[in-house]
Amino acid sequence: MRIINNRILDSEGRTLILRGVNLGGNSKNPFGPPGWGLSPESLKKPAEVSFVGRPFPLEEADSHFERLSRAGMTFLRLVITWEALEHAGPGQYDEAFLAYLRRILLAAEQKGVSVFIDPHQDVWSRWTGGDGAPAWTMELLGMDIEKLDTTGAAITRQRYAEFHKSHKHPEGESFPRMIWPSNYNRYAAATMFSLFFGGKTYAPDLRIEGENVQDWLQGRYIAAFRHCYRRLKNCAAIAGWGVINEPHCGFIGYRNLEQTEKPMLPSGPRPSPWDTMRSASGYTVKVPVHNLLGQQTSKHEILNPGGHSLFREGCACPWKQARVWTDEGDNPRLLRNDHFAMFEGRQADFLKDFHKPFTLRFIEQMKEADEHTFFFIEGMPPGLKGSAHPSWGKNDPPNTINAFHLYDGFSLFTKQFRPWFTFNPENTKLIAGREKVQVFFNGCLAKDIKWSNEHMGGMPCLLGEFGLAFDMNNRRAFANGDYSLHEEALSMYYNAVDANLLHSTIWNYTADNTNKTGDGWNDEDLSIFSEGKERAIAGWKRPYPMATSGQPLSIHWDRKRGIFRYRFNADSGIAAPTIIYLPAERFGPQANITTVLRFEHRHEEQRLLVFNEGRGGETELTVST
């Protein structure tokens, strides 16, 4: 594959539309029995875990890749965490996992499946409510990972019941719905992101093994994935690399540490950075609770009621060491509430000043393994107020793709879906009416593409994550088997993808998903595959142009009427055929096909081949069931 004029082309010069899935949601956790990743025991003995078996056992690889290939999902975002590579300690790489990955990638290649590897994280690590970094990244800074929840430095699904014993709910129901993103505003994750991206600026004297903490953390991260690439670089299935999933600014850019300026979620406890610093160092803090509209309620939550310190004996908060605050005389006082506000004498810009330099460093060092690979770059998490994409210029590395994410926030956080209703998270305005909701979804993607065109040199865009909670509406579909509402939601999301001619990888495919444990991470259940079968297939298994001998112009799939229309500018100089994916579930061997070009419908292969044969210019084809 190569990028020419902002299109991704194959070796025949055809324009590709890459479509696939994130593989998989369970790769955030070490391999273990179903449900184990949700238990407190899964956070014990972090050096001894193994990710061999993620995303699925090797003996199942052929069947999963065959299923994905037949579903038209031939381009996958392969989830790998830093922890999976280097859990035992700095520089101690898990060679057994790398050998397993090689065999997984060979199986993908044999089924005609390509991947780009996603160095995945959410809110830093499993011990801070998500996944990603090894535990030792925090331990080397003096943190006691057993005290992250008790001090209010993190809120984890695994330990929630242990430290909220007053919540007498059945197992799996006590953990607040979709609360995990709030860890971006808790002490541990925010501190680690601030040090990882901005340690040289905001903690210049904090050193590990003689290096500033920022250089040391980034160096270990990049070295781990570079080592991974060197082990895997001759695997033909690898098409590219992500840099880091949903990077976050931590405290960087805060003008006033006593205010919560960058809340990740509208509802729930909302501590300020200053609240989190005090609670992590042994002080009991009362913080306000907000409702779903972001309004402060009369309720409060107590952080660190026992007055424990997160830090081991002889260690202290990095921000205390940097003289951001002091508790001399047992009286905690904030000394510099604007400590993270400035960079080189002006207001700090996280994406420009910290995220982009790291991205450039990652790409430069990874190119030592392969200078021709694609790199998929991301901005901050969707839903964060003020989130944006990085900028990219003509002097920046080529072969880059803007791999942004976008979710229907109302559906994701409430686990409800109404095709005629949603709201705009940027201005909290309600959107009513099925057509208006579809226009809104289309426009959200168009806005991100516009940014790429105006600020990123028009590089190609890929929607790296989007999806739907299958356990929505109180798990009703699990009881009655009716996934029609899920199919409608997914259809609307894919309609927006098609309207913008986007590459896409839906979140996600979890091989061991069950109705009871979902994806096995933070009570999420977004897998299109569960308990041995695909679900809601009419929503996501749909026709699309895989490779076009020319330039795509428009894609339209009428799911209810079973009519697919595709317009493109045919290139008379390309002899190879346009390839349309036609799922056998909707299109039989006698499908009605209308076009002025010669075609072959290979029903068993689920492919329609359309030949230009020297013809050029705009053309249209229609396929109906």
pTM listed for this prediction: 0.96
pLDDT band at 165 (very low <50, low <70, confident <90, very high): low
Q: State the average pLDDT over residues 273-300.
A: 92
Where is pLDDT greater, at 296 or 31?
Answer: 31
Q: Flag whether pLDDT at 397 surpasses 70.
A: yes
Q: Residue 356 pLDDT more than 70?
A: yes
Torsion angles phi and psi, residue 115, rounded to 5: -140, 155
pLDDT digits (tens, 9 = 90+) for 114-163: 999 999 999 999 999 999 999 999 999 999 999 999 999 999 999 998 77
> 137-146: per-residue pLDDT in tens?
999 999 999 9
What residue ranges in 480-537 does DSSP mark as E strands?
503-509, 529-530, 533-534
Indicate the range of 180-194, 318-332, 417-431 predicted with least confidence.
417-431
Residues 6+ apart with CB under 8 A from 384: 184, 248, 262, 264
Rounded CA-CA distance 262/272 in Å is 9
* Structural domains for the chain: 17-129+190-250+350-408+442-541 (3.20.20.80), 545-624 (2.60.40.1180)
Give the start-end residues of each E strand in 141-242: 207-208, 211-212, 238-242
**Pairwise CA distance, residues 382 & 376, whole Å:** 16
Q: How far apart are CA 527 and CA 88, in angstroms?
A: 30
Length of the chain: 625
Q: pLDDT tens-digit profile of 195-213?
A: 999 999 999 999 999 999 9
| Inter-axis angle of helices 187-202 and 213-232, nearest 10 | 110
CB atoms within 10 A of CB 43: 20
**Which residue carries 């000394």 as its tokens?**
335
Cα–Cα distance measured from residue 264 to residue 417, given in angstroms and rounded to the nearest whole number: 21
What values do phi and psi take at 269, rounded to 5?
-60, 140
Strands 325-326 and 296-303: unpaired
pLDDT of residue 273: 97
Distance of alpha carbon 109 from alpha carbon 497, whole angstroms:
26
pLDDT tens digits, 299-325: 999 999 999 999 999 999 999 999 999
Span 458-481, pLDDT tens digits: 999 999 999 999 999 999 999 999
> Using one digit for the tens of pLDDT, what is the confidence trace for 370-396?
677 899 999 988 755 445 788 999 999
| Alpha carbons 230 and 95: distance in angstroms, whole number | 12
Q: What are phi and psi of 590, to 5 degrees?
A: -105, 30
DSSP 223-238: HHHHHHHHHHTT-TTE
Reported as a single tens digit per residue, the pLDDT across 209-250 is 999 999 999 999 999 999 999 999 889 999 999 999 999 999
Amino acid at site 535: R
Distance CA 118, CA 111 (A): 20
In the predicted structure, residue 593 carries a pLDDT above the cut 70:
yes
